[in-house]
Amino acid sequence: MRQKIVAGNWKMNLCFEEAEELVEELIDLLEDVELKADVIICPPFPYLEMASDYAQEELFNIGAQNISPFEAGAYTGEVSASMLKSMGVTHCIIGHSERRKYFNEDDKMLTAKVNQALMHDVTPIFCVGESLPEREAEKHFEVVRRQVRHGLFHLDTGEFSKVIIAYEPVWAIGTGITASPAQAAEMHAYIRSLIAERYDDQVAGQTLILYGGSCTAKNAAELFAQPGVDGGLVGGASLKAEEFVEICKLAI
């Protein structure tokens, strides 16, 4: 049985006080529930230390939203994998469509980020997904195949088994439009078939693949119930403690 995961991507939101309040609210709510899913919260860099201190209560893990492709040194503004690790960060979102789009992160850079994360025992949550024109042109499988292959398939079996994949159709992110449960199931099965082809059925069967894109407490149950969907990467709804915890409860 694959472990269910719900990860919250806070993106570039909240001031410090609001972030601390959200963490405290999450703790209050999470203390009262027994979840099947592991919870990960991914606050902006400046709040990682605060969130990591609260994570000692073992109700959630901490993920970063970005990681440097470099090891250390003269890279102004960068945050390295070893720095993240030393602050208690266990996961990192890599290849989010917003970073691919606004920061020109290409396959080569993403590969370097994945390698850095793994080298320092930080679990990559590697995002893939097609844009609307790509889906309309029926290129979605081709696009996702390229992203998965170029970003991850250089890894050996041991390394690859530490990676979490998130299928996030770009047209569903922050739009209020989700993939239909059937579309999500279809793409998750396709990704798993690629993994089986590159590695083997066992590795494919063990890989965690999350769905992301306008997940809410209203639609998560149906999405998470699809075969091959192991939970979610949640953006907007992760900024509301009650709704986020409701979503976490739906990953069963």
Alpha carbon distance 239, 13 (integer Å): 8
CB of 199 to ligand PEP, least distance (A): 26
Alpha carbon distance 45, 67 (integer Å): 10
3-class DSSP state for residue 231?
strand
Burial 180-209 (b: 16+ CB within 10 A, else e): ebebbbbbbebbbebbeebbeeebbeebbb
Whether 25 is catalytic is no
- Which string of x and - marks every residue 150-189 that binds ligand PEP (by CB under 6 A)? ------------------x----xx---------------
Are 48 and 89 contacting, i.e. CB atoms less than 8 angstroms apart?
yes
Active-site option among 168, 188, 243, 246 = 168
Alpha carbon distance 23, 169 (integer Å): 28
Amino acid residing at 8: G
DSSP state of 138: T
Interface residue with ligand PEP, options 214, 219, 224, 250 (CB under 6 A): 214
3-class DSSP state for residue 60?
coil
Choose the stretch contacting ligand PEP; rule: CB under 6 A; options: 29-37, 102-110, 117-125, 235-243.
Answer: 235-243
Verify binding: residue 233, ligand PEP, rule CB under 6 A: yes
Interface residue with ligand PEP, options 236, 243, 249, 250 (CB under 6 A): 236
Size of the site for ligand PEP (CB under 6 A): 13
Choose the stretch contacting ligand PEP; rule: CB under 6 A; options: 29-37, 154-162, 188-196, 208-216.
Answer: 208-216
Are 153 and 163 contacting, i.e. CB atoms less than 8 angstroms apart?
no
Choose the stretch contacting ligand PEP; rule: CB under 6 A; options: 57-65, 73-81, 180-188, 210-218.
Answer: 210-218
CB of 176 to ligand PEP, least distance (A): 8
Alpha carbon distance 230, 6 (integer Å): 9
Verify binding: residue 125, ligand PEP, rule CB under 6 A: no
Q: How many CB atoms lie within 10 A of CB 132?
A: 14
Give whichever of 113 and 204 is closer to ligand PEP, judged by the CB atom.
113
Whether 120 is catalytic is no
Give whichever of 116 and 219 is closer to ligand PEP, judged by the CB atom.
219
Give whichever of 168 and 199 is closer to ligand PEP, judged by the CB atom.
168
Verify binding: residue 215, ligand PEP, rule CB under 6 A: yes
DSSP state of 77: T
Q: Which residues lie near ligand PEP (CB under 6 A)?
A: 9, 168, 173-174, 212-215, 233-237
Q: Which are the catalytic amino acids?
A: 96, 168
